[in-house]
Amino acid sequence: MFSSRIVNKHNFNGVLSTSSRVFREYSIMKDCNMHPDSQRTYQVVVAATRDMGIGKNGNLPWKLPSDLKFFKEITTSTSGPTKKNAVIMGRKTWDSIPLQYRPLSGRLNVVLTRSTTCNVATSENVVTCGSIPSALELLASSPYSSEIDKVFVIGGGQILREAMNGPGCEAIHMTEIDANIDCDTFIPRVDLSFFRPWCSSLPVTENDISYRFVSYVRVCSSSDSNKLKLENFAFLPKIIFDKHEEFMYPHQKD
């Protein structure tokens, strides 16, 4: 699903199904970014059209160079030189990446598959897991718990739909494409009862398509939206902290 986007920084905009009871348990936590010690939290990176289309025929039906550069930078930027990030993807997404670009360099590639004959893990920096929960459990264990800085879910459609609804999702980094483009794969809109916009870029126009980069962060309640200050969200990618003066922060008020 992400073949074109993965290959190519500018301005910034049954797996893990969750019951409403679990969501309520997470929402009443003192720290809404707490998570079970047995699993890592994660962030979603995705580009979507007005009607939340994310792809067609396993590829991206648009060419947005700045979005491609942003995707690479946000998923490779770490808090220190000895760290690396992990990217979680489905088997179809892995297969859609051209051979010369896989595995995605500088990142631990976690491929979700239940196939017993899958041989993708023979590549360096690639591991396989059967589900998102098992991947998050693996990344919470040694040696990954100390080596992996942040975890990003990048595709495809089914994986993203499940991940966006999971209680372990800390943030959603979305390229919001202001256009109607023919797609055959879709994701749900960001659930604003659990997420709030934290920052947004100014619009970018490439190839006659306008879009912006928006980050949404998980909050526990409506009152938390008044606390969306930079220092409270150290879990966000380093690129956001490095470039935060370029972005608008409409919710940050004293």
pLDDT tens, position by position, 178-205:
999 999 999 999 999 999 988 889 999 9
Query: In this structure, are residues 195 and 216 in contact, taking their beta carbons and an 8 Å threshold?
Result: yes
Look at the chain and count its residues.
254
Start-to-end Cα distance in the chain: 42
Query: In this structure, are residues 76 and 85 in contact, taking their beta carbons and an 8 Å threshold?
Result: yes
Helices H / strands E in the chain, number of each: 8, 11
The predicted structure's pLDDT at residue 43? 98
- Per residue in 54-87, pLDDT tens? 999 998 999 999 999 999 999 999 989 999 999 9
- Residue 241 one-letter amino acid: F
Question: What is the pTM for the complete model shown?
Answer: 0.81
Domains of the chain: 3-246 (3.40.430.10)
Tokens of 195: 């997420």
Distance CA 7, CA 78 (A): 20
Dihedral of alpha carbons 183, 65, 43, 76, sign? positive
